[in-house]
Structure 1
Amino acid sequence: MQKKKRRLVLRTIVLILLFAAVGYSLYSNLTQEKRGILAVGDQAPNFALEDMEGNVHKLSDYRGQGVFLNFWGTWCKPCEKEMPYMENQYSYFKDDGVQILAVNVGESRMAVNQFINQYGLSFPVLRDLKSTEVQGAYNIGPLPTTILINPEGKIVEIITTTMSEDKVRESMEKIMP
């Protein structure tokens, strides 16, 4: 009799855990749909983030220019690989109306500054301190992720792979005014 009671209690606990997992899964998927998954052709969500000097950059300030919006981390080897390519192409495209906004996802000021100095980055490097404000609005998963935004503020392409220098150049050409 004692074994049957234990088995019943154990089965009840397993069922409760199973229902809780299913419930959480459904809730998570439903709230994700409310936030919406960004797609090519969507209006890029506006944001305001500080750069390393404390200047605030709003996406809306760049209306009329193409924006190469890159999400990255100092620990991310693919991010580290493509940063020099981005810097090289930025020097060519910045005067043609294409801007790079590199959004670091929640790392310390010291780590980000060391990275900027190591690679001699001249484009604005912004910090999403909570890693949820802008990263969440853009539903960023893997790093690096780059969102190409045209001069009208529409998403042209979402890139979730490491880019070669040729791909960076092609991407910037796509969003030139």
Structure 2
Amino acid sequence: MPKKIIGLLVLATMVVLVIIGAVKNNMAESEALDNMAIGSNVDFLPTDEGLAKGEKAPDFQLTALDGQEVTLSDYQGQKVLLNFWATWCPPCRAEMPHMQTYFDEHAEDENVVILSVNLTTEDKGLEEIEEFVEEFGLEFAIPMDEKGDVGATYQAVSIPTSYMIDTEGRIQNKVVGPMDLPMMEQLVEAME
């Protein structure tokens, strides 16, 4: 009989520890989500991955889909929405119409550049990329990360991943997952 009681106590202790661990994880996730809110007082970006808020965005040079050279530092003095995507990514497909609408309605007036970097090494080929751009009528720059170096530098592990870069070339925010038009408007407006 005492062995059964000891066994039950050990089992009950294990169950309590699992419950405590789950509650702590839930609280940490909730705190991270709160920190992602626009205007929150966060010293670093909402995820552990990526570059720290306030750091200078690493410069890069890529060739865009239209053959033009794109260098990030050339856009200093403008706000930059730096986006990483691929054609096979459903959240990227959901986000692109919002990005094009933002570009049409706000980019010129608000001194904003959209650089939507295709993770070419992860994609299905040039023809798929061109069809995607045509399907969504994308008119902003599509730099091609043909070696995967820029995506690696910006730790774009989950896509879409976007960085908001201010006029001084400093990272102000990172968003992992798709953005809609109101979110883009709010993030850009929050940048100085």
**Class of the TM-score when normalised by the shorter of the 2 chains:** 0.7 to 0.9
Distance (whole Å) between structure 2 residues aligned to residue 112 and residue 164 of structure 1 = 21
Are 2:129 and 1:116 equivalent residues in the alignment?
no
Q: Which residue of 2 aligns with 1:99?
A: 113
- Secondary structure in 2 matching 1:159: strand
Q: Retained in 2: the 8 A contact 1:38–1:138?
A: yes
Are 2:182 and 1:166 equivalent residues in the alignment?
yes
Cα deviation digits, residues 114-142 of structure 1 (max 9, x gap): 000000000001110122x1011112210
| Aligned-partner residue type, residue 178 of structure 2 | T
> Which of 41, 53, 65 is equivalent to 1:52?
65
Q: Which residue of 2 aligns with 1:86?
A: 99
Distance (whole Å) between structure 2 residues aligned to residue 119 and residue 37 of structure 1 = 28
Q: Retained in 2: the 8 A contact 1:69–1:148?
A: yes
- Secondary structure in 2 matching 1:50: strand
> Which of 57, 71, 76 is equivalent to 2:89?
76
Length-normalised TM-score, structure 1: 0.75
Are 2:150 and 1:150 equivalent residues in the alignment?
no
Structure 1 spans left out of the alignment, 5+ residues: 1-35
Distance (whole Å) between structure 2 residues aligned to residue 170 and residue 119 of structure 1 = 23
Structure 2 spans left out of the alignment, 5+ residues: 1-48
Q: Retained in 2: the 8 A contact 1:93–1:99?
A: no
RMSD: 1.4
Q: Retained in 2: the 8 A contact 1:93–1:172?
A: no
Q: Retained in 2: the 8 A contact 1:50–1:127?
A: yes
Aligned residues: 140
Q: Retained in 1: the 8 A contact 2:99–2:180?
A: no
| Aligned-partner residue type, residue 125 of structure 1 | I
